[in-house]
Structure 1
Amino acid sequence: MKHIQDLGHTKRTIFLAEDDIDDQEMLEFAVKEVDPLAKIVSITNGRKFIALLDGIPDHELPVLIILDYNLPELTGVEIVKLLNQKGRYQAIPKVMWSTSSSPVHKSISIELGILDYIIKPSDMASFISIAKHMLSFIKEPMA
């Protein structure tokens, strides 16, 4: 896990809440393949994710938040509910991803304002395709 002082200031910081290290590494690799200047800050626990996000200044907020549906301590859904209570997080695009293909999980996520609910892939080509899709939600210019 990277700490706040390691974040630096970049318009391409993406926050990833993911407790499976393999999925975390595969997505990080795929995002770097699509956008070499993107910086991913990975957090493996829901409470730590919220604490890290709440502890950074507005100008260092991420341009994209990717949440695993099932996380220890706070789930992706619980995180989104907390983020929705704070205005400073409203403009940040949020994507949920999960191993679960449950239509209920997808419906709950979309109702909370998640832009997409993505099933985790199993091969690198799919990870790269998904990374491109996720990065397409970033609203700010990448320059």
Structure 2
Amino acid sequence: MNNQIYNILLADDDSDDCSFFEEALDELSLATTLVTVNDGVQLMDFLTDTSHESLPDLLFLDLNMPKKNGSECLAEIKQIETLKNFPIIIFSTSLDTEIVDVMYQKGATYYIRKPGDYSKLKSVIQNALLTASKNDFKQPDRSEFIIQP
């Protein structure tokens, strides 16, 4: 049994996607906490706010957000010394190979295409948490970068 508590940060501007993500987490047999932010500016403010006792364990990052998109946030996070090793799982509706390649090159830890099916959402979140944890939240080889449900 996995006894780790996963402290998760979700950056996504779609309130329905946030709700489904939270419901899916609640139904997993994993201990989790979740904080959500709704745009890239809120995300960067949260990550650079020094009043937090600690950072979350990982970030699920949507690419298409207002004010500052996920790609811009990823690049900015990787430029900040205290955040450059922060695990980031891209969580996007797109599975365009060029975008996936760019996210890998920019240093994202994993990439997930948002599934339209709720049971697949639960499965892919669980797979992501367990795979990332097993890999010590480090970026894998490119062939293992995309996590499937």
TM-score computed with the length of structure 1 as normaliser: 0.82
Work out whether residues 78 and 85 of structure 2, in 8 Å CA contact, stay in contact via their aligned partners in 1: no
1:26-105 to structure 2, matched below 5 A, reads 26-35=20-29, 37-57=31-51, 59-105=53-99
Deviations 1:109-136 (A, max 9, x none): 1111112221111111101111112212
Aligned residues: 130
Aligned equivalents of 2:29 and 2:99: distance in 1? 29
Paired position in structure 1 for 2:142: none
Instruction: Answer yes or no: is 1:13 the counterpart of 2:7.
Output: yes
TM-score computed with the length of structure 2 as normaliser: 0.79
User: Aligned Cα RMSD in Å?
Assistant: 1.8
* Structure possessing the higher relative contact order (Cα contacts under 8 Å, 6 or more residues apart): 1
Structure 1 unaligned blocks of 5 or more: 1-10
Deviations 1:84-141 (A, max 9, x none): 011222332110011112111111111111122211111111011111122121348x
Paired position in structure 1 for 2:147: none
Aligned equivalents of 1:64 and 1:28: distance in 2? 15
Match of 1:87, SS? coil
Q: Alpha-carbon deviation of 1:46? A: 0.4
Paired position in structure 2 for 1:109: 103
Which range moves more in the overlay, 67-76 or 30-39?
Answer: 30-39
Match of 2:65, SS? coil
Q: Alpha-carbon deviation of 1:40? A: 0.9
Structure 2 unaligned blocks of 5 or more: 138-149
Identity of aligned residues (%): 27
